[in-house]
């Protein structure tokens, strides 16, 4: 038995060495011929660089006009922000004010006695219950009314002139919720 296993090992070594000897042949003759053909070609011509045209200088003659990067008198005038609508600086932020309104999803409503709530799903997957007086979104959106299929709210946004203005907004019941999908 010892001799049989030694014979198998010897046969395997012999077969392996014969296979390796067969790999040592020179099979690159066609590659050498192709390389020699490429080297024998005459060198190609490089086209000359294009001529650079001189640019005519431009004389800026509007130095006496207002600098467009400096605010005009009208833009720097104090706005009516202190007199009109503005967000409450003492307002304590609610959890759903951390998310933009378009990322929040209304997923349902429920009533208990005379109290009615809407269910809002935040982007992090948490579901919150809200009612009139709660805040939603990043624009100081205050809930005015709850409906079975939507929430009506008013946001306070900047008017672009240093003041604030109100904007009506709503959040509709998510389609997934009405089709029986996952809220």
Taking only the tens place, the pLDDT of each residue in 43-69 is 888 889 899 999 888 887 877 787 777
User: CA-CA distance, 5 to 11, in Å (whole number)?
Assistant: 10
User: CA-CA distance, 17 to 117, in Å (whole number)?
Assistant: 83
Cβ burial, residue 141 (10 Å; 0-12/13-18/19+): buried
pTM of the model: 0.52
Taking only the tens place, the pLDDT of each residue in 120-172 is 999 999 999 999 999 999 999 999 999 999 999 999 998 888 889 999 999 99
Contact by Cβ (8 Å): 141, 135: yes
Instruction: Please name which of 116, 113, 182, 103 lies closest in space to residue 149, comparing C-alpha atoms.
Output: 116
User: CA-CA distance, 130 to 117, in Å (whole number)?
Assistant: 5
User: CA-CA distance, 183 to 128, in Å (whole number)?
Assistant: 12
Taking only the tens place, the pLDDT of each residue in 64-112 is 787 777 765 544 444 444 567 888 888 899 999 999 999 999 999 989 8
């Amino acid at each position: 038995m010892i001799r049989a296993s030694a014979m198998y090992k010897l046969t395997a070594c012999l077969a392996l060495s014969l296979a390796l000897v067969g790999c040592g042949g020179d099979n690159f003759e066609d590659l050498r011929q192709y390389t020699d053909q490429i080297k024998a070609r005459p060198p190609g011509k490089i086209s000359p660089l294009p001529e650079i045209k001189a640019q005519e200088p431009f004389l800026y003659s509007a130095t006496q006009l207002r600098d467009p990067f400096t605010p005009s008198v009208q833009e720097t005038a104090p706005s009516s922000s202190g007199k009109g609508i503005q967000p409450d600086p003492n307002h304590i932020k609610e959890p759903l004010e951390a998310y933009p309104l378009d990322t929040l999803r209304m997923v349902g409503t429920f009533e208990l006695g005379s109290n009615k709530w809407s269910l809002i799903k935040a982007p992090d997957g948490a579901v919150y219950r809200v009612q009139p007086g709660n805040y939603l979104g990043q624009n100081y959106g205050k809930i005015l009314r709850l409906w079975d299929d939507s929430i009506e709210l008013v946001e306070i946004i900047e008017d672009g002139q240093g003041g604030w203005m109100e904007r009506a907004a709503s959040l509709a019941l998510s389609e997934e919720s009405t089709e029986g999908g996952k809220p």
